[in-house]
Amino acid sequence: MRDYRNLRVWQKAHQLGVDAYALPEYLQEPRGWALRDQILKAVISISSSVAEGAGRGSDPDFARFLWYSMGSCNEFESDLLLGGAVKLIPAPILTSLGDQVSGVRRDLTRLIQTVKGAGSREPRAGSR
């Protein structure tokens, strides 16, 4: 089991979540409520999936949860873009959060490659 709090990708995802919690200020109109809820669910899921995967007992399980986190990054970014397109989220906020989620996605990609590489070095049952 890994301590997820020591993973740089979790730290960045956690900070992204903290920063995303400023968004409800811009999504106070009734037409923004569903988007606000969806954005917060997606961003929460990014760091939560990393943490859950780190607590799993195997590298394949960990990698699977990292992929879930990657999907949540894409969902969060898509929701941000929608918020920008309908003029609910200001461009500077959109750019800042977009840059952060891109950084998390890059780190997830590297960690997935590392975890998959570690799993491939383990001897297979019955092989020598």
Is the Cβ–Cβ distance between 53 and 69 less than 8 Å? yes
CATH number, domain 4-117, options 1.10.1370.30, 3.40.50.300, 1.20.1440.60, 1.10.10.10: 1.20.1440.60
pLDDT of res. 119? 62
Distances, alpha carbon 11 to alpha carbons 23, 47, 115, in Å: 20, 8, 18
Banded model confidence at residue 123, pLDDT cuts 50, 70, 90: very low
Is the Cβ–Cβ distance between 116 and 59 less than 8 Å? yes
Query: What pLDDT, in 10s, does the model give residues 59-77?
Result: 999 999 999 999 999 999 9
Is the Cβ–Cβ distance between 90 and 26 less than 8 Å? yes
